[in-house]
């Protein structure tokens, strides 16, 4: 039988090591991966990398024996969001205990769950498990869930088929059965420079982009009007926001280029392509109109990322599993943020989100996870050890 009284302190030590690696998404995560590999080697746990195209980042898959179907996947991302410009009161890459909280970038989102998963390994091995526990650690979740798909394909095609997946995003150790999907796009408008007093001689990329962004604003308002009163999501509707825009040369020059990025976050059952179809048609029309005047101009739309939503499952095996291990008898829950859970579900796995900490602390300066949350996570993992040993 496993004990959370020994597992949790072990997890806190591992958390200190993981937070010390600056795995901001713009950087490599390989130093962290190498540390985890050494830890796994020390316990005789088999593992493999699933790297990105140029080998600068990698997912990591590990299997704690036996190699049979029916196990559970514990999944989380290794990357964190930037700390640039945030008013931290302590070193973001050092765990700082204070008032029952552990401060540091990634303590909540989501190295706390990774630490708990790794801390459970000695107890799982000692229990001589009859069901396997798989670890699936990804890269580049924070920039569009880019790394996980290749890893999920390997899990689906080459591992003995797991029965369920627990994605440890911060949910206060409560089971979450649904999340919105997210699709992000970059729109580049290329204009033709001219003196701003001679508009007949050029085409302002800014002016075209403003009309297109105005259409997105109208669409966002329509999505809000179409909100489903019965939805469990907050807000109850799909959301669309322009997150970045950049278009300039000088105040008296018709802009040569304007780039803007937007995201659409949609609940299960809403087709993003159908929602955005009128906008894409408007972009095509603007592209044709610009090119008719100046061949070197136009409008280009590129999809940066696609993360499917997680749809609540009827009598979902993963949700029932997480509720049992977390001691959770609360109501059904969904979250507005996107996660890799939808990607696992799209690949055919019963999936749930359950991890320590609150999303309210994620991405914030002085990000923290409460020690009590790590203790609840330790109890969750201790019950997982018992489940693996029993082979249910």
Q: Hey, which residues are catalytic here?
A: 79, 141
- CB neighbour list of residue 145: distance below 8 Å, 6 or more residues apart: 138, 305, 307, 338, 339, 340, 343
- Determine the Cα–Cα distance for residues 19 and 106; give it in Å rounded to an integer: 6
- CB neighbour list of residue 183: distance below 8 Å, 6 or more residues apart: 263, 264, 266, 272, 276, 303, 305, 306, 307
Residue 13: Cβ-neighbour burial (10 angstroms; 0-12, 13-18, 19+): exposed
CB–CB of 163/350 below 8 Å? yes
Name the 3-class secondary structure at 232. coil
> In this structure, what is the dihedral angle of CA atoms 319, 2, 378, 170, given to the nearest 10 degrees?
-30
- In this structure, the number of other CB atoms found within 10 A of the CB of residue 389 comes to 18
Q: Which two tokens stand for residue 154?
A: 């390997």
The angle that helices 371-390 and 4-19 make with each other, rounded to 10 degrees, is 120
CB–CB of 298/307 below 8 Å? no
- Determine the Cα–Cα distance for residues 245 and 252; give it in Å rounded to an integer: 19
């Amino acid at each position: 039988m496993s004990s959370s009284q020994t597992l949790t302190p072990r997890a806190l030590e591992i958390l200190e090591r993981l937070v010390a690696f600056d795995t901001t998404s713009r950087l490599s995560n390989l130093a962290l991966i190498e540390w985890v590999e050494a830890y796994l080697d020390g316990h005789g746990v088999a593992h493999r990398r699933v790297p990105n195209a140029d080998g600068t980042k990698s997912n990591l898959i590990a299997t704690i024996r036996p190699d049979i179907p029916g196990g559970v996947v514990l999944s989380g991302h290794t990357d964190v969001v930037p700390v640039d410009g945030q008013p931290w009161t302590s070193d973001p890459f050092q765990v700082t205990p204070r008032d029952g909280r552990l401060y540091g970038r990634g303590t909540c989102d989501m190295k706390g769950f990774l630490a708990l998963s790794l801390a459970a390994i000695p107890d799982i091995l000692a229990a001589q498990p009859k069901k396997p526990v798989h670890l699936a650690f990804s890269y580049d979740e924070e920039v569009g869930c880019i790394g996980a798909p290749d890893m999920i394909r390997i899990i689906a095609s080459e591992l003995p088929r797991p029965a369920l997946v627990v994605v440890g995003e911060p949910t206060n150790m409560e089971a979450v059965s649904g999340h919105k999907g997210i699709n992000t796009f970059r729109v580049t408008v290329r204009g033709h420079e001219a003196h701003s007093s001679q508009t007949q001689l050029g085409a302002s990329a800014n002016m075209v982009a403003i009309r297109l962004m105005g259409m997105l604003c109208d669409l966002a308002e329509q999505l809000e009007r179409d909100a489903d009163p019965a939805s469990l999501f907050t807000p109850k509707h799909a959301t669309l926001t322009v997150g970045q825009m950049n278009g300039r040369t000088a105040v008296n020059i018709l802009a040569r280029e304007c780039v803007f990025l937007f995201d659409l976050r949609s609940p299960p059952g809403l087709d993003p392509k159908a929602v955005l179809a009128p906008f894409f048609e408007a972009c095509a029309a603007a592209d044709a109109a610009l090119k008719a005047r100046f061949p070197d101009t136009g409008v280009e739309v590129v999809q940066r990322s696609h993360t499917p939503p997680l749809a609540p499952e009827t009598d979902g095996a993963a949700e029932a599993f997480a509720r049992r291990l977390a001691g959770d008898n609360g109501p059904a829950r969904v979250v507005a943020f996107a996660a890799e859970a939808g990607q696992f579900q799209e690949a055919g796995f019963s999936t749930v989100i359950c991890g320590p900490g609150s999303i309210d602390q994620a991405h914030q300066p002085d990000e923290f996870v409460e020690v009590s949350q790590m203790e609840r996570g330790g109890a969750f993992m201790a019950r997982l050890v018992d489940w693996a040993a029993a082979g249910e």
